[in-house]
Each structure stands twice: as structure tokens, then as C-alpha cells.
């Protein structure tokens, strides 16, 4: 296989854990950072042989809070990544960052290491909402982080916001969107607050201390936002994502187009050569298992998948055609352009209507999907009720 792939690196450290967050992230574990950085580099080396001959088209540092990592740790991780993989000269290299952990000197350091896209987790431009979300930064910090990114030289910046907070009036959400637009980023990601099982937010909602998000209010906010951003030069290219021309997130497109990616780090997921797998979630266990793999491989630099134990990989599943078809449709329908009927047939040797005719027809009948311009895609209503379509497309059993 010579097709390029994408590389994800998970940085699981956070200063404090936000009440709504169920990501694989941990507060109070910063002492692990040096060993964790080493493990990432070792893991990259372990994968070198298995990915030889394939370029890395995008690199994404996600978390957690990647911007908590000291710049010298990033330097050694980037050197390790470049040593192990053939990173394309024009690769998109993104980093998720939180306001409050960014200054211009640090940001210049990132740029020098090749990071060329920054995704800032703003979430809200209201201090009381930020505090309700347990975010440790202020609205002013978000603006300052954005200005610092510009001053450092970042020309591709995305802002993340969360809507549908408990009791959040439409006007307050509108203010956050307007503030984001005023900063004039290249990309905006907007997510509805969801109550994830096991989080402090879920417990607070269950005890009646926090009102649950109201789906109708979230739908109103989403509808207003779609209209507002469509009146600007942002293109709504994915259910939750808007970009100016030429600034779609290429890394995330890999996921939505169901193409290969390799995830390094604690709890990272991969989809490579027809196999879906994940690594150990706890950072210290991940580090220990990568060390074991490297030792077992003798010289990690000489190793590679196939003849190297990958002990950090703890779950795996070989994809069946049914699973791949389901993933391709569910992820592809998140994109405004939808799934190309021709590309689908070329990939699977069967047409969309032969592979998933019942689910597609039912969604068309409900006004949630359509076939147009050689694509199957969600309608505007379908983008708000996407889960109804996606559930129909899940493989049986």
C-alpha cells in the first residue's frame, strides 16, 4: 500500500478536568510528561516498518491539552515523528490548544517545529458559562490567545465553541458566535453540549442540580448559527464545522472519508490497513507497555509491526465489508457534500442503494436525506437529526 495516511498523537494531560468532559484526559499527571514524550517517540519507531513507503499527509496533536507540553518535549516528539515517518513537506500539522496555556514565544516555537494549524478551545465568550463548564480560562484569555497566535504568525486558526448549555438563552449563544466572527478565524467548530455518562455533569443533572440541555433549544441555536455563518464567507462543510475557502481541516477529512489513520499515545484509536485498534488508555500503563514493546523488539529503531509486539495495542477488530460500508456512509454523510455514489461503488464494488437501500430510502422518505449531484447526502433537516439516519445505517447484529 502506498496511499498516504494521517497521524494522530494523543496528549492526555490537562490542568483541571472539565465537568462535561469524557475524553481520555487527566489532571495532576504532568510528572509523566517526559516519559510520555519518550513513549510517543518509541511508539512512532515501532510503527516505522509497517508504514514504510506511505507519506504522512496530516499530523494532529489532540487531547487533553497538547499546549500544556513544554516546547522542548514537542521538539523531541516532532523529531521522533519525522525520523520514523515520511511526513509530507506540505503536511497539515494541527495542535489543539487551550487559552491560558499559550503565549507568543511558545506559539513561535510551535511554528518553528512545523505546526501550521491551531485549534483553540474557546467554548464560550461568557465568563460565567466558562466557569459553569469548569473551564479555567476567561473570555479575555481566548481573545488574547487568538491575538498571540496571529502575532506569532499562525495563518490557519480554528475556534471551538459549545452551544446548548443549560438554560442558555439564544442571545447569549449569539454573542459568543459574533465574538468568534469578530476575531476572524479561518475555521470554526461548534458542538452541542452532551451529557456523557460518568461525568460530574451527568451526576449533577441526575441529582437535579443542573438542568439538562434542551434538544429543542439546541436545535434553535444550531439553526440560527447555520443561517448566520452562511451569510459570511464560511462554508458549512461538515455538521459541526465551518471553513473559509481552502481551510477545511484535512486531518478530520481523513476520518470522515474513512481513510487510514494511525493514532499514537494513550487511548489513541487507529484505522489502518483494514484493522481498527486502540491503545491502553491510562498514560502510565501506556508508557509501560510501549517500553515493553520496545524492549521485546530489541532495538526499537530496527523494529516494525508484523515482527514487533505491539503490547500497547489492547483492542483490535478486523473490518468486515459490512462494517466498512456502514462507517463510510455514517462518517461520509456528516459532510455537506455527502458520499459520492461513484467513489462508493469503486471502493466496495457495490452501489449505495444495493448496500444500504432500505436505510437510505427510509431517510429520503423522512426528508432527512437526498440523492443529488451524484451524491447521497443529508438535507438541512437531516443535519439536525443526523443520529436518526446514522442509526439506520449501523450494521445489523
Which residues contact ligand SF4 (rule: CB under 6 A)? 14, 17-18, 21, 23, 25, 63-65, 98, 121
- Which residue's CB is nearer to ligand SF4, number 23 or number 224? 23
Nearest distance in Å: CB 237, ligand SF4: 23
How is residue 8 written as a grid cell? 494522530
- Which residue's CB is nearer to ligand SF4, number 204 or number 336? 204
Question: What is the rounded radius of gyration, in angstroms, for the C-alpha atoms of the chain?
Answer: 21
- Which residue's CB is nearer to ligand SF4, number 267 or number 303? 267
**Residue 234 DSSP label:** -
Nearest distance in Å: CB 26, ligand SF4: 9
- Neighbour tally for 135: CB within 10 Å: 26
Nearest distance in Å: CB 240, ligand SF4: 15
- Which residue's CB is nearer to ligand SF4, number 65 or number 241? 65
- Which residue's CB is nearer to ligand SF4, number 18 or number 148? 18
Q: Are 125 and 139 in contact (CB under 8 A)?
A: yes
- Which residue's CB is nearer to ligand SF4, number 26 or number 74? 26
Give me the phi and psi of 273, to 5 degrees please: 50, 40
- Which residue's CB is nearer to ligand SF4, number 117 or number 137? 137
Nearest distance in Å: CB 101, ligand SF4: 9
Report angle CA 124, 252, 67 to the nearest 5 degrees: 55
Nearest distance in Å: CB 99, ligand SF4: 10
- Which residue's CB is nearer to ligand SF4, number 42 or number 101? 101
Residue 236 and residue 187: Cα distance in Å, rounded?
10
Nearest distance in Å: CB 16, ligand SF4: 7
Q: Which alpha helices (DSSP H) does the chain contain, by range?
A: 33-46, 71-84, 104-112, 127-132, 139-152, 170-183, 200-206, 215-230, 250-256, 283-296, 321-332, 341-348, 352-365, 380-384, 386-393
Report angle CA 152, 155, 161 to the nearest 5 degrees: 95
* Dihedral (Cα; 303, 285, 282, 101), 10-degree rounding: -70
Nearest distance in Å: CB 63, ligand SF4: 5
Nearest-CA neighbor of 262 among 1, 6, 4?
A: 6
Nearest-CA neighbor of 111 among 124, 97, 99, 94?
A: 94
Q: How many residues does the chain have?
A: 397
Q: Are 279 and 313 in contact (CB under 8 A)?
A: yes
Nearest-CA neighbor of 80 among 26, 36, 31, 29?
A: 36
Nearest distance in Å: CB 358, ligand SF4: 38
Point out the residue whose Cβ comes nearest to ligand SF4: 21
Amino acid at each position: 500500500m502506498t496511499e498516504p495516511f494521517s497521524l494522530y498523537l494523543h496528549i492526555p494531560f490537562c490542568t483541571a478536568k472539565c465537568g462535561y468532559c469524557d475524553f481520555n484526559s487527566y489532571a495532576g499527571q504532568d510528572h509523566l510528561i517526559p516519559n510520555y514524550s519518550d513513549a510517543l517517540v518509541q511508539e512512532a519507531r515501532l510503527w516505522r516498518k509497517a508504514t514504510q513507503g506511505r507519506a504522512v499527509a496530516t499530523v494532529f496533536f489532540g487531547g487533553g491539552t497538547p499546549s500544556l507540553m513544554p516546547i522542548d518535549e514537542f521538539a523531541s516528539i516532532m523529531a521522533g515523528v519525522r525520523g520514523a515517518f515520511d511526513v509530507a513537506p506540505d503536511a497539515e500539522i494541527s495542535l489543539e490548544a487551550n487559552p491560558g496555556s499559550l503565549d507568543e514565544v511558545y506559539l513561535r516555537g510551535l511554528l518553528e517545529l512545523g505546526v501550521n494549524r491551531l485549534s483553540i478551545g474557546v467554548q464560550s465568550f461568557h465568563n460565567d458559562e466558562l466557569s459553569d463548564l469548569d473551564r479555567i480560562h476567561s473570555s479575555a484569555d481566548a481573545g488574547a490567545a487568538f491575538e498571540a497566535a496571529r502575532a506569532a504568525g499562525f495563518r490557519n486558526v480554528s475556534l471551538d465553541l459549545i452551544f446548548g448549555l443549560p438554560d442558555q438563552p439564544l442571545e447569549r449563544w449569539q454573542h459568543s458566535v459574533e465574538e468568534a466572527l469578530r476575531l476572524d478565524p479561518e475555521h470554526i467548530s461548534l458542538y452541542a453540549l452532551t451529557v456523557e455518562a460518568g461525568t460530574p455533569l451527568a451526576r449533577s443533572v441526575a441529582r437535579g442540580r443542573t438542568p439538562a440541555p434542551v434538544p429543542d433549544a439546541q436545535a434553535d441555536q444550531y439553526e440560527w448559527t447555520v443561517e448566520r455563518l452562511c451569510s459570511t464567507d464560511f462554508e458549512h462543510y461538515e455538521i459541526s464545522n465551518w471553513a473559509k475557502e481552502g481551510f477545511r481541516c484535512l486531518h478530520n477529512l481523513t476520518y470522515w472519508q474513512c481513510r487510514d489513520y494511525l493514532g499514537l499515545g494513550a487511548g489513541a484509536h487507529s484505522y489502518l490497513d483494514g484493522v481498527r485498534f486502540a491503545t491502553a488508555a491510562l498514560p502510565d500503563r501506556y508508557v509501560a507497555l510501549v517500553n515493553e514493546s520496545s524492549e521485546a523488539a530489541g532495538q526499537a529503531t530496527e523494529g516494525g509491526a508484523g515482527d514487533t509486539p505491539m503490547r500497547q495495542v489492547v483492542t483490535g477488530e478486523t473490518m468486515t465489508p459490512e462494517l466498512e460500508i456502514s462507517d463510510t456512509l455514517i462518517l461520509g454523510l456528516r459532510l455537506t457534500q455527502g458520499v459520492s455514489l461513484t467513489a462508493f461503488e469503486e471502493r466496495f464494488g457495490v452501489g449505495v442503494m444495493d448496500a444500504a437501500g432500505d436505510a437510505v430510502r427510509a431517510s429520503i422518505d423522512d426528508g432527512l436525506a437526498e440523492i443529488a449531484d451524484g451524491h447521497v447526502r443529508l438535507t438541512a433537516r437531516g443535519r439536525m437529526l443526523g443520529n436518526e439516519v446514522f442509526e439506520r445505517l449501523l450494521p445489523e447484529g
